[in-house]
Amino acid sequence: MPRAQVGQNGLMGRKLKCDWCGVGLDEDEGLRLIQPHRNLGASFCRLEHVVPWLMQKNDWHIWPGVEVPEETGPVCAQTGEELDEDAWYLTRRRGDVEVTDGFIGSEAVLAWAKAGGRYAPG
C-alpha cells in the first residue's frame, strides 16, 4: 500500500505482527498481503513466511477501507495476466521504500514467493 493509503486503510497506529511467526512489526517494515475487494489483509516479517501461511493457515484479518495500491503494474507479477478487481497485492516495506506486486490469486502469490519473489535468480 502506498504510504498515503495506510492511514486511509485504518492501519495507521495499529500494532501489526507477522501472521506466521508472531514477531511484532513496525509500521514501516515487513510485507502486507491484501485483497482490496474483500477488505482483507495479512502481515509478514519476511517473504519466506508467506508460503507456509498460504499453504497451512490462510487466516485473514479484516482491514476496512483497503484500496488497490496506486503504483502497482497492470499485470500479475507471476503469470503476466491482466489484473482484475479480484487481484491480490503484496507490498514490501523497509523505511521509506515500498515495492508492490499484483497477482491474479493465491496460487500466483504462492508460486512467486516459492521461487524467491521479485529478486529470484534469473
C-alpha cell at 3: 504510504
Asked if residue 26 lies in contact with residue 32, where contact means CB atoms within 8 angstroms, the answer is: no
C-alpha cell at 13: 497506529
pLDDT-above-70 percentage for the chain: 88
Other CB atoms closer than 10 Å to residue 40's CB: what's the count? Answer: 15
Residue 70: pLDDT band with limits 50, 70, 90: confident
Task: For residue 114, give the nearest of 54, 34, 51, 58 by alpha carbon.
Answer: 51
Q: What is the mean pLDDT of residues 14-20?
A: 88
| Dist CA 59 CA 57 (whole Å) | 5
Average per-residue pLDDT for the chain: 86
Query: Which pTM value belongs to this model?
Result: 0.85
Residue 50: pLDDT band with limits 50, 70, 90: very high
Task: For residue 30, give the nearest of 41, 20, 18 by alpha carbon.
Answer: 18
Helix (H) or strand (E) holding 110: helix 106-114
